[in-house]
Amino acid sequence: MITGFITSDTYLKHKTGSEHPESPQRLEAIINSLKSSGLWDQLYHINPTIQGETNYVNLVHPMSYQKRFQDAVDMGDTFFNSSDNPISNDTYMAANLAVSGTIQGINTIMNGQCNNAFATIRPPGHHAEESSAMGFCFFNNVAIAARYAKSIYNMDRIVIIDFDVHHGNGTQHIFEDDPSVMYISLHRFPFYPGTGAEDEIGRNDGRGYTINYPLSVHAGDDVYLDIVNNSIADKVLSYRPDLIILSSGFDAHELDPSGGMNVTTNGFNQMTSTFKQLADSSCNGRLLSVLEGGYSLKGLADSVHGHLKILSEESS
């Protein structure tokens, strides 16, 4: 089993300030953990580059929004849209390269270079709306990746599973009327950003293809695993996707300073095992995992290490 690992030093150049939780140290902790364990050498390394002249960000975000973002960076602004979204000289470049990383993950899976892949990118994306930055997010990486897979590889059905502690409001809104993308989220509720109630099920032709599992604080492994192994598994297998994309936030970890959900590293490992089995059963193992949140450096590093170890193991 070959697992792609996508990252770039450029992602470290998006500076957020010494007190900000979404910091370059997050990626450094992941990489150091992988190197110290030896797992680093077992991965298929992908160094992303900007994808030629085609601007795939356009698949989700209008040029007017991209220009506002780039102008804010070029003018030396310290944040974009709100103080939640600090920016620095290299933020626009890093955000574009995060999009390229997810796209190159799709490509390496589809051309057979790897069976699945993990995009170790920043800034994250699932809060980004079509024309608005929010919650540390500027471009919606997973949404762009899904539309890219549909456009370039003619995929009919894609599942996005978001297990970040925060609901992915941007991803939900982008696909809420699209039956070709099933968006599934399990998250703390009520909690930031305030969306993700159980009765948010999509609209128009997409009604029924948005599925939310709002969870109470301190839910823990048993609650998460019951939902993943039963309800989510049934929905994914019934939908028969061509690809599974994970919005992989690890801020529900018991060590996370703000998540409050008490999920253990082993709990995340067991969820990963189920997601991998679902990909094997429904779409020939095609699975792209994209980093979202996770702000305990140890909790994040341990969880991503386990995530990658399971993704890279031979399927039973």
Tokens 């099933």 label which residue?
Answer: 182
**Annotated catalytic residue: which of 127, 166, 173, 253?**
127
Strand extents, DSSP E, the chain: 3-6, 44-46, 79-80, 82-86, 116-119, 158-162, 181-188, 210-215, 243-248, 287-291
CB-based burial label for 79 (10 Å; 0-12, 13-18, 19+): middle
Does residue 253 have an active-site annotation? no
Can you tell me the distance from the alpha carbon of 249 to that of 84, in angstroms, rounded to the nearest whole number? 18
HSE, side-chain direction, 13 A CA sphere, residue 272: 28
Q: Which of 87, 164, 93 is nearest to 133 (CA)?
A: 87
The structure tokens 């399971």 sit at 310
Query: What angle is formed at CA 138 by the lines to CA 133 and CA 144, rounded to 5 degrees?
Result: 115
Beta bridge partners, 76, equal none
Beta-carbon contacts of 54 under 8 Å, excluding residues fewer than 6 positions away, are none
* Amino acid at site 232: I
The H-or-E segment that residue 30 falls in is helix 25-37
- Residues 188 and 105: their CA atoms lie apart, in Å, by 28
Q: How far apart are CA 96 and CA 138, in angstroms?
A: 9
Active site residues: 127
